[in-house]
Amino acid sequence: MIETTVRPTQNLTGTLIAPPSKAYSQRMLISSSLSKGRSIISNPLFSEDTKATLSAVKSLGANVTINDNSWIVDGSLPLTGKSKPIDCGESGATLRFILPVCALAMGSSTLTFAKSLERRPISPLLQSLQDLGVKTENKKNGKKPEILVHGGGINGGKTSIKGDVSSQFISGLMFACPLARLNTVITLKTPLESTGYVKMTREVLENHGVFISIYDKFNQIKIQSNQKYTKHDCKVPGDFSSAAFLLAAAAITNSKITVQNLDYSTLQGDKAILAILDQMGAKLKIIKDQIILEGHKGFLKPIDVDAREIPDLVPICSVLACYANGISKIHDAHRLRYKESDRLLSLYLELRKMGADISMSENSLTVKGSCGLNGALIDPHNDHRIAMACAVAALGAKGETKIQNSECVRKSYPRFFEDLKKIGAEIIGW
């Protein structure tokens, strides 16, 4: 376990390159693995979660050559089932995306995953797969949970599923159902949240020649059967989810930094961080593929954040709220209870340690700023976004902050602490 110390920093400066998008990297990899021919993915993210997706598609037959800054993927159809378990690690996206894909294999496959994923919902996806003719079984093998997927293909047909539990369920079905025997109709029983991620999946699929029809404000999705994936070369864009921590670090220290490799035309919902920072009074410039943040005058302004479309921004928005002059509310955040940790509870506990005036309800956080944070010993609850959020909070706090188990940032942003050091943050133990 790595313990990293973050000391307060009055001024950050410099230029950083945003890490590649984890969400795009995983989607492009799965689509390429289902395509006929060779696809080249440039600028992919190398992280714990993308390693899990890489391992999964290779287990199902894809041939992936890894170069310094690309993945060369030779498609794997027809898929073959694997008697050896496919380990999804702690990647919820890998589990939810690959599970329906395994149903396309000729034989059975077993998916295993870390116990930390047991608390994250999966049963709605299993029920939808059952509706579409796929048999699955929950199993236990020693300490790790497993799901057995009986292959042989997907019949297709009709299914219904909640849209406010995880958009990854929808994306998983979108990957597999174009190869079903019959057309598939997915009806959303509750409004879809994180629609940006479903749009992202559709965009990647269309680049590979697969088309999905979405109707009635995402209330219904129709997928034509017997489609064919085609090879496609692509470049992974920079990740706004990760860049949000860098931009927030500059905002709370009233600093000027430039973050490159950020395309504002992307479908990533988390580019909303720019509008949030603007509302709080930070000075932003968007120039081509880079964002320049030039600090702010006086205190940051409080915010009201609806988390339904941007759950991954809640940790850093909570930190920004600590440095705002007034009461901020982050609401409609119930899905954060089922992330890598119970993120609402984790934020409440850890920011309170630092002196935040924060309260919590079932689906919201309220922060009374400016809080005047102090250094503390932080337990990130094995959650990469909690670790990064508290590291950013520490930059403006009095005294040093120690973050236990800080290696959990490798899940999505392995170079996070190195990047903070590049722009002047005093980081010890990493």
Q: Which residue ranges form the domains of the chain, and what is each CATH number? A: 4-19+238-428 (3.65.10.10), 22-224 (3.65.10.10)
Instruction: Provide the pLDDT for residue 136.
Output: 96
Q: Among 112, 109, 118, which residue's Cα sits nearest to residue 136?
A: 109
Residue 76 has pLDDT above 90, yes or no: no
Residue 251 has pLDDT above 80, yes or no: yes
Which residues, in sequence order, are bridge partners of residue 178?
none
Average pLDDT over residues 361-380: 95
Residue type, 406: S
Rounded-to-integer distance, Cα 202 and Cα 222, Å: 12
pLDDT band (50, 70, 90) for residue 92: very high
Note whether 74 and 60 are within 8 A (CB).
no
Provide the whole-model pTM.
0.96
Q: Among 395, 18, 411, 320, which residue's Cα sits nearest to residue 403?
A: 395
Rounded-to-integer distance, Cα 348 and Cα 181, Å: 48
* Three-class SS state of 153: coil
Instruction: Provide the pLDDT for residue 140.
Output: 74
How many residues are listed for the chain in this entry? 430
Residue 412 has pLDDT above 90, yes or no: yes
Contacts (Cβ under 8 Å, ≥6 apart) of 109: 59, 60, 81, 82, 86, 102, 148, 149, 151
Rounded-to-integer distance, Cα 177 and Cα 172, Å: 9
Note whether 271 and 226 are within 8 A (CB).
no
Instruction: Provide the pLDDT for residue 237.
Output: 97
pLDDT band (50, 70, 90) for residue 284: very high
Token pair of 267 as six digits: 């479908």
pLDDT band (50, 70, 90) for residue 223: very high
Instruction: Provide the pLDDT for residue 49.
Output: 97
Note whether 150 and 136 are within 8 A (CB).
yes
Q: Among 254, 282, 245, 252, which residue's Cα sits nearest to residue 372?
A: 252
Residue 232 has pLDDT above 80, yes or no: yes
Weakest-pLDDT range from 77-91, 164-178, 388-402, 404-418: 77-91
Average pLDDT over residues 251-274: 96
Weakest-pLDDT range from 51-60, 106-115, 203-212: 106-115
Residue type, 95: L
Q: Is 312 among the residues known to form the active site?
A: yes
Phi, psi of 427 (to 5 degrees): -120, 130
Note whether 386 and 406 are within 8 A (CB).
no
Q: Using one digit for the tens of pLDDT, what is the confidence trace for 325-353?
A: 999 999 999 999 989 899 999 999 999 99
Catalytic residue among 87, 239, 270, 312: 312
For the chain, state the CA radius of gyration.
21
pLDDT band (50, 70, 90) for residue 268: very high
pLDDT band (50, 70, 90) for residue 285: very high
3-state secondary structure string, 338-374?
A: HCCCCHHHHHHHHHHHCCCEEEECCCCEEEEECCCCE
pLDDT band (50, 70, 90) for residue 417: very high
Instruction: Provide the pLDDT for residue 33.
Output: 97
Q: Among 83, 120, 121, which residue's Cα sits nearest to residue 102?
A: 83
Three-point CA angle 331, 50, 78, nearest 5°: 115
Rounded-to-integer distance, Cα 124 and Cα 339, Å: 16
Note whether 295 and 251 are within 8 A (CB).
yes
Q: Among 278, 60, 82, 74, which residue's Cα sits nearest to residue 176?
A: 60
With b for 16 or more beta-carbon neighbours within 10 A and e for fewer, the 67-96 pattern comes to: eeebbebbbbbebebbeebbbbbbbbbbbb
Rounded-to-integer distance, Cα 97 and Cα 172, Å: 4
pLDDT band (50, 70, 90) for residue 42: very high
Rounded-to-integer distance, Cα 295 and Cα 423, Å: 14
What is the per-residue DSSP string for 190-241? Answer: S--S-HHHHHHHHHHHHHTT--EEEETTTTEEEE-SS---B---EEPPB-HH
Instruction: Provide the pLDDT for residue 116.
Output: 83
